[in-house]
C-alpha cells in the first residue's frame, strides 16, 4: 500500500463523513439563524430558546435522512472492503 492509496482512503473517508453530516449541519445553521433573528427582534436572550428547537429539529432531520446516510455508509464500506485484496502487497 503506497502513500497515494492511504491518502485516497483518508480523502474518501473524510468526504463521506462530510456528505453524511451536511444535511444535519445545514439544518442546524438555518434554524440557528432563524432563532437568532427572532431573538433579536423580540429581545429575548435566553439560551434555552435557541438550544431546544435546534436539538429537536436536528433530531427530526437525523431520523429523516437516516436511510440515505446508512446507504452512503454501506456503499463506502463495500468499496473499502472490496479494495482490500488489491491493497495488500
d(CA 70, CA 66) in angstroms, rounded, equals 6
d(CA 22, CA 69) in angstroms, rounded, equals 10
DSSP class of 75: H
pTM: 0.74
Domain that holds residue 26: 3-82
Residue 89 lies in a domain: no
> What total number of domains does the chain contain?
1
Q: What is the pLDDT of residue 50?
A: 80
Burial of 32 (0-12, 13-18, 19+ CB in 10 A): middle
Residue 71 lies in a domain: yes
Residue 52 lies in a domain: yes
Residue 88 lies in a domain: no
Residue 45 lies in a domain: yes
| Residues 25 and 62 sit within 8 Å (Cβ to Cβ) | no
pLDDT, tens digit, 9 for 90 and up, residues 6-60:
888 899 999 999 999 999 999 999 999 999 898 888 888 777 778 888 999 999 9
Amino acid at each position: 500500500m503506497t502513500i497515494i492509496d492511504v491518502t485516497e482512503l483518508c480523502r474518501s473517508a473524510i468526504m463521506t463523513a462530510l456528505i453524511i453530516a451536511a444535511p444535519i449541519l445545514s439544518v442546524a445553521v438555518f434554524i440557528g439563524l432563524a432563532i437568532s433573528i427572532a431573538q433579536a427582534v423580540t429581545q429575548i436572550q435566553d439560551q434555552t430558546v435557541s438550544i431546544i428547537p435546534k436539538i429537536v429539529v436536528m433530531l427530526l432531520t437525523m431520523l429523516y435522512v437516516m436511510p440515505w446516510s446508512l446507504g452512503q455508509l454501506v456503499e463506502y464500506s463495500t468499496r473499502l472492503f472490496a479494495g482490500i485484496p488489491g491493497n495488500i502487497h
